[in-house]
Amino acid sequence: MNNSVGNTGRVLWAGLRALLVLTVITGVLYPLAVTGIAQVAFPGKANGSEVKADGKVVGSELIGQTYNLPLKEGEETAAPDLKWFQPRPSNGLGANSVNTQYKLILSGATNRSGDNEDLIKWVTDAKAAVVEDNSVKGYRVKPSDVPADAVTSSGSGLDPHISPEYAEIQVHRVAEKNHLGVAQVEKLVADHTDDRILGFIGEPRVNVLQLNIALKNLTAAKG
pLDDT, mean of residues 52-66: 87
Of 76 and 64, more confident: 64
Q: What pTM value is reported for the model?
A: 0.79
In DSSP terms, 130 is beta-bridged to none
pLDDT band at 79 (very low <50, low <70, confident <90, very high): confident
Of 76 and 134, more confident: 134
Give me the pLDDT at residue 98, please. 40
d(C-alpha 149, C-alpha 163), whole Å: 7
Give me the pLDDT at residue 44, please. 78
In DSSP terms, 63 is beta-bridged to 60
Give me the pLDDT at residue 114, please. 78
Tell me the CA end-to-end span of the chain in Å, nearest whole number.
91
In DSSP terms, 50 is beta-bridged to 60
Q: What type of residue is 191?
A: D
Give me the pLDDT at residue 108, please. 67
Give me the pLDDT at residue 106, please. 65
For residue 57, the surrounding DSSP H or E stretch is: strand 56-60
Give me the pLDDT at residue 94, please. 42
pLDDT above 50: residue 97: no
Q: Give the helix ranges, DSSP H, for 69-163.
A: 117-134
Give me the pLDDT at residue 89, please. 85
Q: How far is CA 200 from CA 195, 196, 197, 204, in A?
A: 9, 5, 6, 10
pLDDT above 60: residue 93: no
Give me the pLDDT at residue 115, please. 85
pLDDT, mean of residues 127-146: 95
d(C-alpha 136, C-alpha 122), whole Å: 23
Give the number of other CB atoms < 10 A from CB of residue 133. 16
